[in-house]
Structure 1
């Protein structure tokens, strides 16, 4: 595996984005298992983008301003909703609602999945980035693209899980200090809004 691909992928994965913000917020609010569930959901959210790139759908979206903008608007709207939900006392950072049941974790993973699937820049990333590491002489480019995509997904899950576990580790300090919790709510909400604005002005 080319070190350039691994290094670039790691930088992209570790950089703060919507998935990172949600995973941190979830780990803080509901603990380690929920943080891992969020990491898993964000990772699964990559699959549709990879499939779109392989199937050529990403190329169509890249060429069509209407299709790209439609998905972008949905993504921005969802991020604004996440910001509002974070500020609510019973929202994303609801420390009291820390159910560890399967339904809660499924809901967490589903939300994380939606956050990533509504990010059109991921499809464009796979369309523009992965082909650079597929040689013209490659006998099976589809298999190669799946391998590269799988490595990216594994890296995403590991890094995001670490984010979630770290957030869970400092959770008790947040729970015991209402002022810090209020500050965290506002900070995460502001982060979602900032990411929404960044996505709104993103070009193809």
Structure 2
């Protein structure tokens, strides 16, 4: 059908891959718990847009360019790792600010972020996280190509259909994270130490993701 083989296997594999924790899903969960559903969906739109651009780049041959010109991969890797590290440091600083509020204002009823603590433009941040991951292009190519019939009359159409399926699965999962994050916000607003520890943990994970990307190879 449309040059696609083993569609049910692809769907199961796509679900499992989408469920794997990564910087995008962690960022969305954090932003939804801090700034609400609207900001969460802005971040989700950034993730979907970024992934769509990477899928399109894959279809147009970006993967072969990364292989042919390794310095391109290295440059993207350095920038991506640096950006993830930057976000991780911002989250660590935010966790310290949250912890300090416990001692400076123990009677406060809600944890409010200052303007400096807020992540600017959830859409732009999520989009940047997606695009600064050159490994994603290679992943999309290696995963998608397994389910495209080599005799397909229009492989691009097959890639497009597979991409739409992945994005539908991704959007459903991101929506679940958004509403989960909103519920967590209500809990964290009355448990300041736990909130600080959670923010600190996510910051450390972002630093780990950045380090992992920096040490990766094609």
Counterpart-to-counterpart distance in 2, 1:124 and 1:195: 17
Cα deviation, 1:56-102, whole Å, max 9, x if unaligned, reads: 112211333211111111110000010111123399x9x52599xxx
- Where do residues 60-71 of structure 1 align in structure 2 (5 Å cutoff)? 60-71=65-76
Selected match of 1:176 from 167, 190, 194: 190
Distance 2:15 2:155 in 1: 22
Cα distance in 1 for residues equivalent to 2:18 and 2:67:
22
**8 A Cα contact 2:89 2:207, kept in partner:** no
User: 1:41-190 counterparts in 2 under 5 A?
Assistant: 41-89=46-94, 96-97=112-113, 107-190=121-204
- The offset of 1:25, in angstroms, is 0.6
Query: SS at 2:75's partner residue?
Result: helix
Aligned-partner SS, 2:126: helix
Task: State which drifts further: 56-65 or 77-86.
Answer: 56-65
Q: Aligned partners of 2:184 and 2:190: how far apart in 1?
A: 11
Aligned residues: 198
Aligned equivalents of 2:209 and 2:24: distance in 1?
11
* SS in structure 2 at match of 1:96: coil
Match of 1:12 in 2: 17
Aligned partners of 1:70, 1:4: CA distance in 2, in Å? 35
- Compute the RMSD of aligned alpha carbons: 2.3
Q: Which runs of 5 or more structure 1 residues have no equivalent in the other structure?
A: none
Contact persistence 1:43–1:153 (CA under 8 A): yes
CA apart distance, 1:12: 1.1
CA contact (8 A) 2:88 2:203 kept: yes
- d(CA) in 1 for partners of 2:194, 2:8: 40
SS at match of 2:151: coil
Q: Which has the larger radius of gyration?
A: 2
The TM-score with structure 1 as length reference comes to 0.89
